[in-house]
């Protein structure tokens, strides 16, 4: 497959700004005319809408893409409860299988130049009840199967330095490529934000590529190393594997 260059976007935790970051970076990457796609393969936590449940992160991914994306490619598994995906999948009576996700990544990568794939929660969120249950057990294994370099979103709040360093270490211990990281200003009351950001810059193994926020002196809407971001985009997405009999996507 001659696919897009891209990144798998993971986070130090849930609620750190992965969706906001993917939308902002996707639009930036499309400014030079590149065909950009943003995918959210697994989503949990829906809001009521006029025509049934709606998933803000899926809608954000589709809106941030510069090419038309069918829902079946933008998202493969979606669950209404805002709970861990393995619990939501069990309640829905389905198993989260890699094949629908890898096939969607393959289809989209063949149509675009740059691809962002947003994970769910943090780097090691379970997708199955047990780690030895077979198949892809967590989001770390999903990232490995997709085969893109990782971009780590660090939510700037108390404890983020430890979370960021541990996550970066876990990524590298698995032999995955960490392409860089993004600072995400999620806590406007975060004390010593500038000093802690400087500590992260000094300790993280790779450079900070962006600083994302929602306004305020320590939370700019966007500060971006565009050249660094483009350079971080890795080789084309890995070819999707053949489907396994009996797999069944949800929705």
Rounded Cα–Cα distance for residues 193 and 181 (Å): 16
Rounded Cα–Cα distance for residues 232 and 215 (Å): 26
Rounded Cα–Cα distance for residues 146 and 237 (Å): 7
Q: How confident is the model at residue 207 (pLDDT cuts 50, 70, 90)?
A: very high
Q: Which of 44-58, 74-88, 210-224 has the highest mean pLDDT?
A: 74-88
Residue 149's closest CA among 40, 232, 64?
232
**What's the mean per-residue pLDDT of the chain?**
88
Rounded Cα–Cα distance for residues 112 and 162 (Å): 36
For 231-235, what is the mean pLDDT? 84
Give the chain's end-to-end CA distance (angstroms, integer): 26
Show Cβ contacts of residue 248 under 8 Å, excluding neighbours closer than 6 positions.
94, 95, 97
Virtual torsion, Cα 166, 14, 65, 38, nearest 10 deg? 50
Domains of the chain, residue spans:
5-232
CB 81 within 8 A of CB 44: yes
Q: What is the pLDDT of residue 247?
A: 33
Sign, Cα dihedral of 213, 24, 144, 147: negative
Q: Among the options 40, 114, 163, 211, which is catalytic?
A: 40
What's the predicted TM-score (pTM) here?
0.89
Please list the residues that pair with 39 across neighbouring strands.
117
CATH class of the region 5-232: alpha beta
DSSP 149: P
Q: How confident is the model at residue 217 (pLDDT cuts 50, 70, 90)?
A: very low
Describe the crossing of helices 98-109 and 139-146 by its angle, rounded to 10 degrees. Answer: 40
Strands 150-155 and 5-11: parallel
Token pair of 13 as six digits: 């935790």
pLDDT (tens digit per residue) in 15-52 = 999 999 999 999 999 988 999 999 999 999 999 888 88
Please list the residues that pair with 153 across neighbouring strands.
11, 182
pLDDT (tens digit per residue) in 120-155 = 999 999 999 888 877 899 999 999 999 999 999 999
For 183-194, what is the mean pLDDT? 90
Least-confidence region, from 12-26, 114-128, 232-246: 232-246
Is residue 18 part of the annotated active site? The answer reads: no
Q: What is the pLDDT of residue 224?
A: 83
CB 161 within 8 A of CB 199: yes
């Amino acid at each position: 497959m001659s696919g897009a260059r891209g990144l798998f976007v993971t986070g130090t935790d849930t609620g750190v700004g992965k969706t906001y970051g993917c939308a902002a970076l996707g639009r930036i990457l499309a400014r030079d005319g590149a065909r950009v796609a943003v995918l959210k393969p697994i989503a949990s936590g829906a809001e009521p809408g006029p025509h049934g449940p709606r998933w803000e992160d899926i809608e954000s991914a589709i809106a941030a893409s510069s090419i038309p994306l069918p829902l079946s490619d933008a998202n493969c598994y979606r669950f209404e409860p805002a709970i861990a995906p393995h619990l939501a999948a069990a309640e829905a009576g389905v198993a989260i299988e890699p094949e629908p996700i890898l096939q969607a990544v393959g289809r989209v990568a063949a149509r675009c130049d740059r691809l962002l794939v947003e994970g769910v929660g943090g780097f090691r969120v379970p997708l199955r009840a047990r780690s030895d249950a077979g198949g892809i057990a967590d989001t770390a294994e999903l990232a490995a199967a997709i085969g893109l370099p990782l971009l780590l979103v660090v939510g700037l709040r108390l404890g983020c330095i430890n979370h960021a360093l541990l996550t970066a270490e876990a990524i590298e211990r698995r032999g995955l490529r960490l392409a860089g990281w993004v600072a995400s200003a999620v806590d406007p009351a975060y004390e010593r934000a500038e000093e802690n950001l400087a500590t992260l810059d000094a300790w993280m193994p790779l450079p900070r590529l962006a600083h994302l926020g929602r306004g305020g002196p320590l939370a700019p809407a966007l500060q971006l190393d565009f050249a660094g971001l483009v350079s971080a985009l890795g080789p084309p997405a890995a070819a999707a594997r053949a489907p396994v009999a009996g797999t069944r996507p949800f929705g």
